[in-house]
Amino acid sequence: MAEIRGPQSQAGIFNFYDAPDKGMDINLKVFLILIIVFAALIIVFDHFL
C-alpha cells in the first residue's frame, strides 16, 4: 500500500524555497530605470551608426 505522508515529510522542500538569497539586493525601480536607459542607448546608437 502507498504510504500517506504528512506535512513533516515535505518540510525540506519548504525550507529550500524559503531560504534567504545571498545575492545583490537591488531596488526594482532602479533596475527598471537601468533597463529603459540601456534600451534607449541601444536605439540611439543603432539610429546614428
Domain residues of the chain, as ranges?
25-49
- Grid cell 546614428 in the structure block, residue: 48
CA angle 42, 44, 49 (to 5 degrees): 95
Return the amino acid letter for 28: L
Q: What would you measure as the largest C-alpha separation in the chain, in angstroms? A: 71
pTM above 0.75, yes or no: no
Kindly report, residue by residue over 31-44, the tens digit of the pLDDT.
999 999 999 999 99
Residue 20 pLDDT exceeds 80: no
DSSP symbol at 18: T
How far apart CA 42 and CA 36 sit, in angstroms, is: 10
Cell of 13: 522542500
